[in-house]
Amino acid sequence: MSSRRVLSDAGDLMQRCEDAKAPGQGQWRLGAIPTIAPFLLPPLLRELRKTLPKLQVLLREEPTHLLLQALDAGELDMAIVALPMDTGRLRVEPLFSEELWLICGPDDAVGQIDQPRLAKLQTERLLLMSEGHCLTDHTLQACTRSQRERAASHSEIEATSLATLVQMVAAGLGIALLPEMAIKSQWLTQGSVLAKPLAAPAPTRQIALVMRPTHTRREVEDAMVRIARAMRRPKIMGARRSSIKKAP
């Protein structure tokens, strides 16, 4: 066991003593990946403030592997990530699943199909994010082996952010898969793209809380789980079969 891990676990034991004196108070360090943070955190933290008004939340937004390293080292208390992902010794609490949707330019032929089939897509046209972003892994995992090979061999452009990925699609440079929460958040309002749900079985990703096995903030964990799962209701996330067209 590394010295950093020993120190992080010892810190959790000390935190347990502090929590016993003043539960639901103090600082709480939360991480989230870039394809979750801007869409899930604002409404989630608004509701969390109502439940635990004396809790001070410190946010950190980074790719999954950096969040997991920070958790293991005791630099974060909890993180929200997308699975499947190797989380090592860390404890995982699943929250909900969401689909990946197709986005394409307004003049793209695939945009005329009500619910495109992933198996029929020209995956050499798939635009991906740069290495280290789990959306790229989830996109490629959804494809067949031959599709993955074509996508990887033809991927000449990689985006470093979700916003850049959308703008490249809007410019007609290709197509991409986007998380459902990004579609339903109305984040695409300013973009000239079409968003389409894929035909069943659509690719999905699992949203989950990740924490150390020695984590002690159960009042925070319980509140996070309850609020996040409640947000998944249709009135929040929208209907499955609707497609969203954003005007230029």
Taking only the tens place, the pLDDT of each residue in 57-78 is: 999 999 999 999 999 999 999 9
Identify whether residues 106 and 92 lie together within a single domain.
no
- Residue 73 domain-assigned (yes or no): yes
Residue 244 pLDDT class (50, 70, 90 cuts): very low
- Residue 246 domain-assigned (yes or no): no
Residue 226 pLDDT class (50, 70, 90 cuts): very high
Identify whether residues 199 and 106 lie together within a single domain.
yes
DSSP the chain: --HHHHHHHHHHHHHHHHHHHSTT-EEEEEEE-TTTHHHHHHHHHHHHHHH-TTEEEEEEE--HHHHHHHHHTTS-SEEEEEES---TT-EEEEEEEEEEEEEE-TT-GGGGSSS--GGGS-GGGB-EEPTT-HHHHHHHHTS-HHHHHHHHHH---EESSHHHHHHHHHTTS-BEEEEHHHHHTTGGGGS--EEEPPPSS--EEEEEEEE-TT---HHHHHHHHHHHHHHTSHHHH--TT--EE---
Identify whether residues 20 and 85 lie together within a single domain.
yes
pLDDT digits (tens, 9 = 90+) for 7-58: 455 455 555 545 555 567 789 999 999 999 999 999 999 999 999 999 999 9
pLDDT of residue 239: 39
- Residue 233 domain-assigned (yes or no): yes
- Residue 16 domain-assigned (yes or no): yes
- Residue 121 domain-assigned (yes or no): yes
CATH number for the domain harbouring residue 192: 3.40.190.10
Residue 105 has pLDDT above 70, yes or no: yes
Number of separate domains in the chain: 2
pLDDT of residue 14: 53
Identify whether residues 104 and 144 lie together within a single domain.
yes
Q: What is the pTM of this model?
A: 0.81
Domain carrying residue 164: 99-203
Span 110-135, mean pLDDT? Answer: 85
Identify whether residues 107 and 38 lie together within a single domain.
no
Q: What value does the mean pLDDT of the chain take?
A: 82
Residue 169 has pLDDT above 80, yes or no: yes
